[in-house]
Structure 1
């Protein structure tokens, strides 16, 4: 990919979390940047209203400004989530522009740095953001392209021109992570997912094997994962002895205390204030990579308690004696199981009500028995309709497939009915919204609803 002559960059699908990070990067670096997305979102509104981005929601090529009609000096970045028949994308494609997927551009930009890449079918966003936070709070520093909005930084992009390291979330969707050549890599999970792309779990595993082979230095895997073609530096875990693990885990006033044990290293009494046992596991991976990148033990000890999380990852919006409201991006059965198990760990005696919006017809069709099994960890389930994203409906595939296999009390509601149902039926315990679709649009509604006056 040649960028020496590029003066302008147009993003088709600019509102995606990965696309927006790249767009922000090019704008900071002085390029003319604009983009299209299908719908407005809090992220795109912040980019346009506060950061000066030119964003359109009309799929109309006639609105493309003159600066982006200079084919020789314009780079077009697109996401596979945008349909091929999109008029703006078709205009660029039919007129001979240089078109590249987001993953290609990210791979190109990362080659001038030492890339620290976190891959996995779940856990990667939080682990990536934790790692970037630990490095940024140390003498090592880093740039970062994150797959979520860091609560600490309020953005998904960090730029540190003085650091040799760039932290990258390595996304397996559409084999995107195969454009990366990590200096150090982590694989957090390799569960069956994205079968609309890979066809079979075996093909997904083959892609992870290839990603591992492209890793030039240390490679760390969660305990229980194995690779056939590549030796690993070590495994990590929580409460199980392995190469790198969190030991003596205990809850202390709403946060976790644990000891980090690694090869020839021990850091006692680390504190993590971000809830969820699964996040202790993510922290263990992040600490391991940070240490290998040169972050000191004392820097880790000081930084870790200050980590406040990632938007839509176990994101606590209301916490009172009466009710706790948490929003989470979980959209795979294993992610749901991990989140709900963490809640049972921290608040074993509170009633747990979960509102779940399935994401994609294909994923629902592939995993509906497993979705039901995971959701059965709740006391009550509110099921919304499937969020289609890029897909057309599949006959017979609805959220009812999950409902039929639930053994806990449940109700199916439309998005229009959803807020009123919650207002009338949820008043205490823990309420959790889950899913990768647009269920997050209700966060302000429920945050206001549950901010009860003190009793």
Structure 2
């Protein structure tokens, strides 16, 4: 590891509750560093960090910074891009001459000496990276993983490797995030690119700049490494690594004999050496079958047998908020989809799983810029549902844009049964409707509806009944 990190004893996180930040905080914590941090609000994730011995506060106030973290010579500050420019603590650390690194920079330093498997893509990367990490761990390999979601198998976004004198023995799986070009700190041995659709245009400005950034990412794969690229992408000429293509139906690695039985997608995977039969995913969806193909290809390259990979995939239980079931009957599924392509893949899979049944979709748009840039795509993908409830835009880090509200999507939705309502009114509106299959979709705070909606759809019996 970099000597610059080894020289610190205290690690302070500005924005510790983010899914990527918390994984790195956990790594430092279990490796003997003192860890503390700030976040805007308490969440189940921050409470989990606190239960692991990490000190966290929720007020932007310099006097809340623990005394042990006030020495610039042995405190490293890790920053997430979500922290606003006028943040008081950030300014105090800057003015005090502290070493401040972005999360992505720290991740690049942590993984530099390991055998790095990086999964990139504007969608699909969380599921694919967590699949790879689980399959490798299930097969008994020495795995570290920094993931962008809470895995259902391990209830964490972080897997800790076993100690070893040879860092190259550690298979490190990283979700490589294109936001803010964070993935350009990584130099992988094996890499996956699932998609390069235009997104984060508030950062990139244009789809061509997004594509250029992915080209820069694959150029950093080790020359003796391998790029596993979804068939149809145009990155092959920008890397010195070997290139292997995969997809649901095309490429050297692809799905065969796919069918749905018992609400599972069952299929075989064709690869250059033969056919791996008997894949039965507990996480449904055509897109997840394709993600499983990518995971299969990577794990085969990493030395696992087809049988080991199949057993791992069949025991993979998914990631929270990715096609996550909350009720079987009436059906209630929640998904993090926040891009038109993701919503389309999700709703097509729901319709395939429940043919002939009525699907009610509740969607919360995420970001004003994303709503502005993809309003037609959102409307088209949401129109796959039989009924749409559209919420107000979740602003996240953005200020409002004049003329951009969820109305720009609502007006273009072709489904005749469509309702626009506030998040606070959703439960009341749904209570008056006949419901069969219900899905909640979005990357904002729509997840706070999950438990009350589940309770409303199927009330728990009173004690003693």
User: Is the TM-score greater than 0.5?
Assistant: yes
Q: Provide the residue aligned with 2:247 in structure 1.
A: 237
Which of 187, 191, 195 is the equivalent residue of 2:193? 187
The structural deviation recorded for 1:75 is: 0.5
What secondary structure is seen at the aligned counterpart in 1 of 2:361? strand
The structural deviation recorded for 1:55 is: 1.1
Equivalent-residue separation in structure 2 for 1:75 and 1:350 (angstroms): 54
Q: Provide the residue aligned with 1:21 in structure 2.
A: 23
Within a 5 Å distance, the mapping from 1:116-155 to structure 2 comes to 116-155=117-156
Which of 189, 199, 203 is the equivalent residue of 2:205? 199
- Whether 2:174 is the aligned partner of 1:173: answer no
Structure 1 residue runs without a partner (length 5+): none
Structure 2 length-normalised TM: 0.94
Q: Provide the residue aligned with 1:104 in structure 2.
A: 105
Equivalent-residue separation in structure 2 for 1:368 and 1:301 (angstroms): 39
What secondary structure is seen at the aligned counterpart in 2 of 1:358? coil
Aligned length in residues: 449
Which of 25, 31, 34 is the equivalent residue of 2:33? 31
Q: Contact 2:333–2:440 at 8 Å: present in 1 too?
A: yes
Q: Which range is displaced more, 154-163 or 380-389? A: 154-163
Q: Provide the residue aligned with 1:293 in structure 2.
A: 302
Per-residue CA distance 1:28-78 (angstroms, 9 max, x = gap): 111111111111222112222x32221111011111111110110001001
Which of 339, 342, 354 is the equivalent residue of 1:335? 342
Equivalent-residue separation in structure 2 for 1:230 and 1:445 (angstroms): 48
For residues 450 and 391 of structure 1, do their structure 2 counterparts lie closer, same or farther at Cα, with a shift above 3 Å needed? same
The structural deviation recorded for 1:117 is: 0.5
Q: Contact 1:18–1:147 at 8 Å: present in 2 too?
A: yes
Q: Provide the residue aligned with 1:384 in structure 2.
A: 391
Equivalent-residue separation in structure 2 for 1:16 and 1:211 (angstroms): 23
Q: Contact 1:287–1:300 at 8 Å: present in 2 too?
A: yes
Equivalent-residue separation in structure 1 for 2:311 and 2:44 (angstroms): 32
Q: CA RMSD in A?
A: 1.4
Equivalent-residue separation in structure 2 for 1:225 and 1:183 (angstroms): 20
Q: Provide the residue aligned with 1:435 in structure 2.
A: 442
The structural deviation recorded for 1:364 is: 0.6
What secondary structure is seen at the aligned counterpart in 2 of 1:214? coil
Equivalent-residue separation in structure 2 for 1:254 and 1:247 (angstroms): 18
Equivalent-residue separation in structure 2 for 1:249 and 1:241 (angstroms): 14
Q: Provide the residue aligned with 2:257 in structure 1.
A: 248
Equivalent-residue separation in structure 2 for 1:57 and 1:16 (angstroms): 13
The structural deviation recorded for 1:452 is: 5.3
- Whether 2:221 is the aligned partner of 1:220: answer no
The structural deviation recorded for 1:109 is: 0.3
For residues 141 and 423 of structure 1, do their structure 2 counterparts lie closer, same or farther at Cα, with a shift above 3 Å needed? farther
Q: Contact 1:116–1:185 at 8 Å: present in 2 too?
A: yes
The structural deviation recorded for 1:453 is: 7.6
The structural deviation recorded for 1:268 is: 1.3
The structural deviation recorded for 1:226 is: 1.6
- Whether 2:427 is the aligned partner of 1:419: answer yes
The structural deviation recorded for 1:209 is: 0.3
- Whether 2:454 is the aligned partner of 1:447: answer yes
